[in-house]
Amino acid sequence: MCGIAGYILRAPTGHQAARYIDALLGPIRQRGPDDEGLSLINRQKRSVRAFRTDQTSLKLSHLPPLGKELSLPLHDAALIHTRYSIIDLTEGGHQPFVSSDGTITAVFNGEIYNYLELREELSAQGVAFRTLSDTEVLVEGYRLWGHDLWNRMNGFWAVALYDVRSDEMVFSRDRIGVAPLYYRELPEGFFFASLIQSLIDISPGDVEMDRDVVEGFVQTGIKDHDQSTFYRQIRSLPSLTTVTLPRGGWRLSEGTAKRYWDFPAARLKPGDLSFEEAVQRYRDIFFNAVDLRLRADVKVAFELSGGLDSSSVVAAAAMTRKDITTYTVSIRGADEEPYARAMLERYPLDYRVLKYLEGDFKSECGAFARIMEEPYDNPNAYSHHCMLRRMKAEGVSVVVTGAGGDEVLAGYEASFWPKAYEELRRNGFFWTAEWYEFCRRFMTLRKTRETLAHYLADIPGYLRRRLVRPKPLSAGGTVTAAGEYRKSYGRLSFHEQALYHFRVALVPFYMRSSDHFTMSIPIEHRFPLLDYRMVELGLQMPIPYLFRGGWTKYLLRKAMEPYLPDRILWRRKKMGFTFPYRLYFGEHADVFQPRWDRFHERQVLTEGTGSYQNLLERDPVKLWRILSTAIWLAGQEGAGP
């Protein structure tokens, strides 16, 4: 991963562009400490000139230095890149990258995991490669195949390129939206960058908070939907889409947006694919997805939580690699390290346990908010950031993670099972649904106790629902886009709910959050369970293949049955690294309540929330969302750490 930025101006300029370059380049430097470069483009003359900065690799000293303000050449577009070297560590991977015939110039943030296979295809068609980089594969692939390239690529990316043949500017983001690309339109032109701060710095005086997004986040926790950000003037280019600006075009509205891929529209029926065939197909794709994500010229390590997903990733990697390094976090009160350690029964891992993650959230939350750029839903992001910093200090540059499995295979039982239960019963799988329901409630002694305790606690509520006529719901309250999405969830079909988490609720904000807290280090996150082939297959699986006998993600469990210890494979409950909201914000109310008070004095929210203490007891997760918003807003105003 790297940092990219640039602009397309309404009219050519030379002397004014220096401030644009400085504003865009400054914030993204943290993302690419290994090299830097930029190209200035005169679209009228269809000419591209490359320059170096004071951070460009010394091996590229032959490039002309970027001149001072008054000596910049006349141009109306720029491509800027900061490099974090993962594949081909030589200066051959320097960007902006120019095709062999000089017609394509591109900047690229991401990785093309199947670049070796694409390289072979291109070589067979006569392309002579000069480097070993995946960026050259992208550039030469676009030169030869045009927009047919995007569907051939397996990986993640945010790309901006200039095609001198057609005088078109092209932007593309990967299918899942792993690599961010923000944009802002001003009277002077169109600006884009990997980070929001770059676009703020272009013209900080006229950036405003988007109240709908703020209110919606506080209400629901949903953010990063509809290409929105917390700033009205800054948006995100859509994932799984290319945007082409024609000759002379500089506004997004002048361009053509086209989806090159989409999520499956419907699920298969059990008669379309047997369960045994589904298991084999899933296993084959999964093992290949992991194998592709081991490609790097730097040290790769794995997050191992002791859960099904991360353990499956490690097991798949161990099929082809012997030098597997894993990191597990031991947390007092929610320690899953004994489960992770069970993997040593099967595989010779370089197994490392982190017990004390340095950092103090209450004192660093302001600095971390600046890293995240916007309010975020869970303080565990900070803990994850601290873990990755430790890994980076031990020489790790790429981290492979098991994130994404619950979205692909409906692993969140509370979110997915109610609709799955309803549709199974309606579609002829009555006993499958009822047996799963019985198992999830009574299969173990602990489950039985929890279920009976729930029933006993719910008796007053049950009587009230049966005996008291409900009052009609009030139409009051602030209506937000996020709130409307949340209201719609229960009306969606099971398949639509799965798509909802990819398009609206879970995946978009996690991808952006993960990008920000990893690339501020920098360290690269890779997600084999979000390989687009895994997503396509998982979102087509019949419901009975996902829920069976009280087990979620049954398909994955059976696919990995030969490769995982039973202690991991058939775990009834995963603890997860939960954040102790009530305990933490109660103990440190002296630090956080003043932030709460200052935020409420500004009257940012149109609805009342009660007192700090009241919300701490009643809804501590919502309390955090308000605190996160308060800390972010204070940082924008320069108020405190």
- Identify the three-state secondary structure at position 3: strand
Structure tokens at 597: 């008070």
Count of CB atoms within 10 A of residue 149's CB? 22
Residue 467 lies in a domain: no
Mark whether 253 and 299 lie in a shared domain. Answer: no
Mark whether 74 and 38 lie in a shared domain. Answer: yes
Beta strand segments in 164-247, E: 168-173, 182-186, 189-193, 235-236, 241-245
Domain boundary among 259, 284, 302: 259
Residue 438 lies in a domain: no
* Alpha carbons 388 and 15: distance in angstroms, whole number: 41
Q: What is the pLDDT of residue 565?
A: 96
Q: Give me the amino acid identity at 112.
A: I
Mark whether 144 and 67 lie in a shared domain. Answer: yes
Mark whether 513 and 401 lie in a shared domain. Answer: yes
Mark whether 300 and 174 lie in a shared domain. Answer: no
Mark whether 145 and 37 lie in a shared domain. Answer: yes
Residue 17 lies in a domain: yes
Q: Give me the amino acid identity at 468.
A: V
Q: Which range marks the domain in which residue 191 is found? A: 3-259
Q: What is the pLDDT of residue 357?
A: 72
Helix (H) or strand (E) holding 134: helix 134-145
Domain boundary among 569, 602, 627: 569
Domain boundary among 195, 229, 259: 259
* Alpha carbons 391 and 44: distance in angstroms, whole number: 48
* Alpha carbons 308 and 574: distance in angstroms, whole number: 9
Q: What is the pLDDT of residue 188?
A: 95
In terms of phi and psi (left: phi > 0; alpha: psi -120 to 50; beta: otherwise), the region of 170 is beta
> What are the backbone angles phi and psi of residue 14, rounded to the nearest 5°?
-130, -60
Provide the terminal-to-terminal Cα distance of the chain, rounded to the nearest Å: 28
Domain count, the chain: 3
Residue 331 lies in a domain: yes
Which of 327, 333, 381, 330 shows the shortest CA–CA distance to 359? 381
Mark whether 341 and 391 lie in a shared domain. Answer: yes
Residue 447 lies in a domain: no
Structure confidence by residue, pLDDT tens digits, 13-64: 987 899 999 999 999 999 999 999 999 999 999 999 999 999 999 999 999 9
* Alpha carbons 41 and 33: distance in angstroms, whole number: 24
Q: What is the pLDDT of residue 71?
A: 75
pTM for the structure as a whole: 0.94
Residue 455 lies in a domain: no
Positions in the chain whose pLDDT score sits under 70: 67-70, 332-334, 358, 445, 447, 450-451, 454-455, 457-477, 574-577, 638-641
Mark whether 243 and 336 lie in a shared domain. Answer: no
Q: What is the pLDDT of residue 358?
A: 61
Mark whether 71 and 192 lie in a shared domain. Answer: yes
Mark whether 233 and 299 lie in a shared domain. Answer: no
Residue 29 lies in a domain: yes
CATH number of the structural domain spanning residue 381: 3.40.50.620
Mark whether 33 and 59 lie in a shared domain. Answer: yes
Residue 368 lies in a domain: yes
CATH number of the structural domain spanning residue 175: 3.60.20.10
Cα separations (Å) of 14 from 72, 122, 151, 382?
5, 38, 37, 42
Structure confidence by residue, pLDDT tens digits, 312-325: 999 999 999 989 99
Mark whether 274 and 252 lie in a shared domain. Answer: no
Distance of CA 263 to the CA centre of its chain: 17
